[in-house]
Amino acid sequence: MMKNTPEEILNDEMVSAFVTRAAEYCTFVESTANFGKVDFIQKAIRLFSGLYAAVANMPEITHATENVNEKFVKETDWHRIYNQVHTKLGYHDDYVDVYDPVAKEYQDVSIVSLADNFADVYQDLKDFVTLYGMGNEEVMMDALWEVRMNFEEYWGPKLLSALRTLHRLFFSDEDLEEEEPASSDEQAPQDEDEQTTRGGWLFEKTRDQYKKNDR
């Protein structure tokens, strides 16, 4: 039976499962340094797969109001998560990806950072769990609508891309604890201004433009 009222939606089993997993993911990446690399990858696989299943099975959610949801994740927060994950994964952080693998025309491949994906997913989910935790029914419904919309367009594809790569790493014969030897001509780490050009924080700007066009 289709759920229509806010009370029915907020009490839905898959909504509750998603909220729990979203909060768990945020706590997990905030404490990245506490895990070994293998444990980190294994737990990330479990969390990503659980998040995707929960969102995909949530009931349809209509936009409750015309209010713009408050944002809590700052640029410095995004970079903190990015740096923690990038440091944890080391040279396993970068991978080859295709922008649209089902496109009929030829698509160029690109080098993508897992840390970018982790931080982008964190950005959406942290904003969501903070809003949802306020306990206001109207705000909670708006937060659910927005996080589901952004899942379809932004962080869902990023989650799947990261999950595919993590699966390949975890179930390969590669020694994940082995670190790549430092190269004498290795470039110095990027400073914060240079990191913003990677495109991670542009996710927020693109999402805001999408919302404007959707209204």
Reported as a single tens digit per residue, the pLDDT across 67-93 is 788 899 999 999 999 999 999 999 889
* Helix or strand holding residue 20 (H, E): helix 13-30
Which segments of 25-149 are extended strands (E)?
94-98, 109-113
Domain extents in the chain: 6-175+194-210
Report the first-to-last Cα separation within the chain, whole angstroms: 29
pTM of the model: 0.78
Report for 19-23, 60-64, 111-115, 156-160: range of highest mean pLDDT:
19-23
- Provide the pLDDT for residue 101: 56
Place of tokens 């404007």: 212
Question: What does residue 88 show for φ and ψ, rounded to 5 degrees?
Answer: -65, -45
Contact 51, 20 (CB under 8 A): no
Average pLDDT, the chain: 81
Q: Quick one: CA dihedral 61, 161, 180, 199, positive or negative? A: negative
Split at pLDDT 50, 70, 90, the class of 50 is very high
CATH of domain 6-175+194-210: 1.20.120.1550
The token pair at 145 is 């609508």
The radius of gyration computed from the CA coordinates of the chain, to the nearest angstrom, equals: 18
